[in-house]
Structure 1
């Protein structure tokens, strides 16, 4: 729900703050007082509309999906729209585009002003029907779960068969290509790390002559070794440190000579050719290790191509099994839905009759299998397609569907925003709309502008929007103030005693509804 709303500097509003409760929240006031401006600014705070307010801010209790939105939840999440030179949108001080903030809010808030057909989409209508059927039999939920699991596997197997069919059409070409790629690497037959070893050998070969020449020249030092030993002896100094150093130097020179002598057997041309071949692989695949991994991948593909008939036959068997299973489960689900449909239609029409609308007809027709089965629900209002009925009828039909859905709701459905839903309705029609909204308010926080006493009296919270000079202001009304405001709606600015009496009766009667 929206717990608090704050608005600053928008048209006739200088500043206003609303502390909001759950349930049905009604906004009333004289024409031109700013009710629609207020509703528009609430929508603008969550990206659902545009306005030039300096600031409009909504504090909400919505638990935002952190993984999909990358927005961290706070104890109270704050949606904000600021307009200076341009509009900027924020959630918990994190800047977002209008499109992004609107996408987040759309999961929790709906503005029922236009002909939004989402409530009449097949998935939603089947969901309501299945909930009602499931209330009478636990078999429905288990059946749907089994069907959906089988259908998803059926789709996956069907997809795999399609891939195999595509591969079969070009199997010869694919096999030849895989074999060619394998042979290209196999002919060189590299080993991991071989390129580094060869580069080291190349490096050693390039400096062999120079190093051996240097060692030969430096070995002259050993011809004078005995002179140094004699000098140390004459000085009565120990010569062991000198002997050790000279022995270590001999080992170094001998080791180097052995290593370079071993290179005499190396074919320099062969090493260079091998390095070039390995470099070609590295240029193509990135590294020797990646080339070997690619070869392994192609060998796996080649084995798969060679065994494709076996895999295809196995998949065909599983496909036929799943096809039969999906059909059986879908038929069983359709049968349960068909049994639940008459009660669904009866209860929907009960709401429609209360809303002073004609009866609706609902047909189930078979369609292609999807995740919801093989059934498609289609609604007509007294034989007229939904696209052709009036906006007023459309909105009341939508309320009836929402009311039907709410009967089995176990959690809060979010926020519904309605404009003048009871405009141009008679007193009885307005009361019928009010009663349906009252039921929905058990599961939704509902914002509604009303000019009718019946709907106004049903509000759990009542705000008056009024003008103080040229400035629009809001005020939450007490019970006595509500009596006066409803009486004003009934009789105009000159409030009569009869209007006050009727207002009190409406407010008392509203306590008994639901």
Structure 2
């Protein structure tokens, strides 16, 4: 709900501070007093285009500050603000401030936090509905008709949204699989050749290092062979060093008991024989390891060259060739198995689409029932508003599949016909200014929707009517104000008499400067203003008496 409005230096308004309460507030004043300036000021705060022409002559800038009740913690508006990084203090009012400079440019703030005009428009649209003769938003905009009908029907759109998301997810998965399959088919020849080539070569992990080490060892062996043979010959045969040590040990063993030193010598000799034996074994092992085999060396060098060549060809390290073979083989297998995967995804797509259609058709049944009830309710409001020749119909038709969405398959639009026999057409294209406002009022009363803006402004909803029709408009505005805060700009005394609060807009001039101000009227002031509306500039006693009767009838 709008709590207050502060205006500084906008056109004829120098400084104005207004407080608003719940219920129905009426704004009256003579033609040209500045009612449109007041609405333009509020529109600026709600994100309308910042026109430098609004700045009062001789001033640098104009500013509007609007204060609203704090949005409920989990409301759509609170969530939207939090998602937009606007901090909210629990229980504190929501304050919107907008300024525009005389030389162009504007700034906007929500709770003292800078925001864009686009954000301001979105927030403003959730705070206030403005219905005027040239309004192209609110109930006139077909984009909002589906949501209004759903609220009227009390339907939960969560199921259709989930079904649509599942359908789209299945569709995306199938499209991606088809794309992958097409890409894989292009690579089939390359994959088959690469897999065959790598399978034939059969690379092993760590093979390059092993081959390089064995090659280096064999090449060392070629250099060391002659030295090794000479060393080994010192050990071999009956004349070799090891054989001589063993013969000496046998002889020494026969005489060792003759003297302690001989026994010690025998012990050292035995250890020498053992060490010499181990040395001979190591020499033999080294000779075997370093054996130079020209054919084996040639084979290793060829394998190593081919291994590194394959690695360069496939742009991987030699040790990664084995893993590459596994990967390419899997991709090749996937091509062959792709048909089965596509069949499963296509079945999933058909299943989720059918679930969506079932949910959408169930939703349409509820909408159809609600549309008939709404048409009947609106028709009941038209006759008292002097729209008895008019017809109202909620159009509900299935859209082509490419336009189905998370809200269902239906296009919903409110249509009217104002003359007998005339075709039904969109709201904003048929009704005149006065008719349009009355149609909107009839719709608002019939819908009485929850979840809409809590503040509604009607600009001259009573234009072109009077008497009983004006009274009917006033009655419906009063009824509607029990569930929402209403601000009504009116020229009708019948409507004005229904207000819970009455604001008088007045323009004054000192000969050089004109000013517009607004003041709240007390009971006597209301009586005088309604009498003026009845009789014109010269207020008569008869007009005052009629004003009393209107006020007493509230």
Whether these two folds match at TM > 0.5 is yes
Give the Cα separation in 2 of the matches to 1:303 and 1:421.
Answer: 73
Which residues of 2 match residues 187-202 of structure 1 at below 5 A?
none
The answer to whether the 8 A contact 1:40-1:49 is kept is no
Single out whichever of 115-124 and 102-111 deviates more from structure 2.
Answer: 115-124
Residues 236-282 of structure 1: per-residue CA shift (max 9 Å, x gap): xxxxxxxxxxxxxxxxxxxxxxxxxxxxxxxxxx9xxx9xx99x999
User: What is the Cα-based RMSD across aligned positions, in Å?
Assistant: 4.3
Question: 362, 365, 368: which one pairs with 1:338?
Answer: 368
Task: Determine the structure 2 residue equivalent to 1:502.
Answer: 546
Is 1:440 aligned to residue 475 of structure 2? Answer: no
- Counterpart of 1:425 in structure 2 is 465
Shift of the 309–442 alpha-carbon distance from structure 1 to 2, 3 Å rule, reads farther
1:57 aligns with 2:77: no
Displacement after TM superposition at 1:21 (Å): 1.1
- Partner-residue secondary structure (3-state), 1:89: strand
Superposition deviation, residue 432 in structure 1: 2.8
- Relative to structure 1, the CA distance from residue 478 to residue 166 in structure 2 (aligned partners, 3 Å threshold; closer, same or farther) is same
* 2:535 paired with 1:491: yes
Query: What displacement does 1:150 show?
Result: 2.3
Alpha-carbon spacing, 1:49–1:440, altered in 2? closer, same or farther (3 Å):
farther
In the alignment, which residue of structure 2 is the partner of 1:171? 184
- Corresponding position: 1:153 with 2:166: yes
**Could you say which residue in structure 2 is the equivalent of 1:349?**
379
Aligned partners of 1:453 and 1:179: how far apart in 2?
Answer: 90
Name the residue aligned to 2:248: none
* Cα deviation, residue 451, structure 1: 1.1
Given that 1:59 and 1:77 are in contact with CA atoms closer than 8 Å, whether structure 2 keeps it comes out as: yes
Out of 318-327 and 4-13, give the one that drifted further: 318-327
TM-fit CA distance, 1:490: 0.7
SS of 2:409's partner is strand
Q: Provide the C-alpha distance between the structure 2 equivalents of 1:153 and 1:441, rounded to a whole number of angstroms.
A: 42
TM superposition shift of 1:475: 0.9
The answer as to 2:121 corresponding to 1:96 is: no
Deviations 1:34-66 (A, max 9, x none): 222122112223322532153221122253433
Deviation, 1:372, is 3.1
Q: Partner residue of 2:139?
A: 119
Deviations 1:61-117 (A, max 9, x none): 253433332111241232222344543222223233433423332232233233426
If the length of structure 2 is used for normalisation, what is the TM-score?
Answer: 0.64
Equivalenced residues, count = 416
**3-state secondary structure, aligned to 2:553:** helix
Which SS does the other structure have where 2:99 is aligned?
Answer: strand
Match of 1:381 in 2: 416
Structure 1: give runs of 5+ residues left out of the alignment: 135-139, 192-269, 283-293
Q: Cα–Cα, structure 1 residues 398 and 182, in superposed 2: closer, same or farther, change >3 Å?
A: farther
When normalised by structure 1's length, the TM-score is 0.68
For residue 123 of structure 1, report the CA deviation from its aligned partner: 6.6
- Contact 2:130 2:138 (8 Å CA) reproduced: no
Q: Is the 1:412–1:443 contact (alpha carbons within 8 Å) kept by the matching residues of 2?
A: no
Question: Structure 1 residues 177 and 463 mapped into 2: Cα distance closer, same or farther (>3 Å)?
Answer: farther
Q: Residue 338 and residue 486 in structure 1: after superposition, are their counterparts in 2 closer, same or farther (change >3 A)?
A: same
Question: Structure 2: which 5+ residue stretches go unaligned?
Answer: 56-60, 72-77, 206-303, 317-323, 418-422
SS in 2 for 1:413: coil
Alpha-carbon spacing, 1:450–1:325, altered in 2? closer, same or farther (3 Å)? same
Shift of residue 509, structure 1, vs aligned partner: 2.4
Query: Once the 2 structures are TM-superposed, how far is the Cα of residue 488 of structure 1 from its aligned partner?
Result: 0.8
Give the Cα–Cα distance (whole angstroms) in 1 for the partners of residues 17 and 456 of structure 2.
Answer: 20
CA-CA distance at 1:18 after TM superposition: 0.3
1:67 maps to which of 76, 82, 85: 82
Q: CA deviation at 1:447?
A: 2.4
CA contact (8 A) 1:461 1:476 kept: yes
- Contact preservation (8 Å) 2:146, 2:413: no
- State the Cα distance separating 1:347 from its structure 2 match: 0.5
Q: Distance in 1 between matches of 2:142 and 2:325?
A: 49
Aligned CA distance change for structure 1 residues 360 and 174 (closer, same or farther; 3 Å) = farther
Aligned to 2:128: 109
Q: Distance in 2 between matches of 1:8 and 1:122?
A: 35
Mapped contact 1:483–1:500 kept (Cα < 8 A): yes
Structure ID, larger Rg: 2
Q: CA deviation at 1:180?
A: 11
Shift, 1:461, TM fit: 1.8
Q: Could you report, residue by residue, the CA deviation over 1:171-230 in whole angstroms, capped at 9, with x for unpaired residues?
A: 3236678999999xxx9x9x9xxxxxxxxxxxxxxxxxxxxxxxxxxxxxxxxxxxxxxx
Q: Where does residue 11 of structure 1 map in the other structure?
A: 11
Native 8 Å contact 1:364 1:377 kept in 2: yes
Alpha-carbon distance between aligned partners in 1 of 2:69 and 2:463, rounded to the nearest angstrom? 31
Decide whether the 8 Å contact of 1:487 with 1:500 is kept in 2: yes
Task: Give the Å deviation of 1:380.
Answer: 3.1
Alpha-carbon distance in 2 for matches of 1:103, 1:385 = 28
Corresponding position of 1:258: none
Q: CA separation in 2, counterparts of 1:334 and 1:507? A: 47
The answer on whether the counterparts of 1:41 and 1:49 sit within 8 Å (CA) in structure 2 is no
After superposition, the Cα gap between the structure-2 partners of 1:415 and 1:174, relative to the gap in structure 1 and judged at 3 Å, is farther
